[in-house]
Amino acid sequence: MEVIAELDRQHAAAAFTSSQASQSSSLSLNEQLKKFLAAHQEIHKMVLTYDPIPFDYLYKEVRKAGIKCKAADLLDWCDQQCVACRMNKKNNKDGARSPGKSPRKSPNKASKATTKRVAKKLIS
């Protein structure tokens, strides 16, 4: 029974992809993305349960389905529809911090000693 359901989902996704190219000019991006979600049950389930969807994965799947949109437009749509997306952090290869952030301060031994002294005065 599960095999039949899976085949039905795959068939719906394939039909969606093939018909998408001809309909993309007549449908708005909103309508295209709603049809995309209806055809992709796994992603639709994540949306319904508010599980964060990796944005890179969602964007690749949308592009695979033949929907032409910019990443910013897809992100705006996700925000409007309250679709939870998870963005990957961009790691700096050299370990440098992002510009505009102050450098981290190392723990100061003097401040720890001061804290201990204050704590002792409060206790006694």
Range of the domain at 57: 2-86
Q: Is 8 part of a structural domain of the chain? A: yes
What pLDDT, in 10s, does the model give residues 45-56? Answer: 999 999 999 999
Q: Is 116 part of a structural domain of the chain? A: no
Please report, as a single letter, which amino acid is at residue 64. K
For residue 80, CA distances in Å to 32, 45, 69 come to: 15, 18, 16
With beta carbons less than 8 A apart as the criterion, state whether 74 and 104 touch: no
Q: Is 65 part of a structural domain of the chain? A: yes
The full length of the chain comes to 124
Q: Is 46 part of a structural domain of the chain? A: yes
State the DSSP code for 27: S
pTM of the model: 0.55
pLDDT at 40 over 70: yes
Q: Across all residues in the chain, what is the average pLDDT?
A: 77
- Please count the structural domains in the chain: 1
Distance CA 24, CA 16 (A): 11
What pLDDT, in 10s, does the model give residues 90-116? Answer: 655 555 555 556 556 655 555 667 777
Where are the strands (E) in the chain, listed by range?
A: 53-54, 85-86
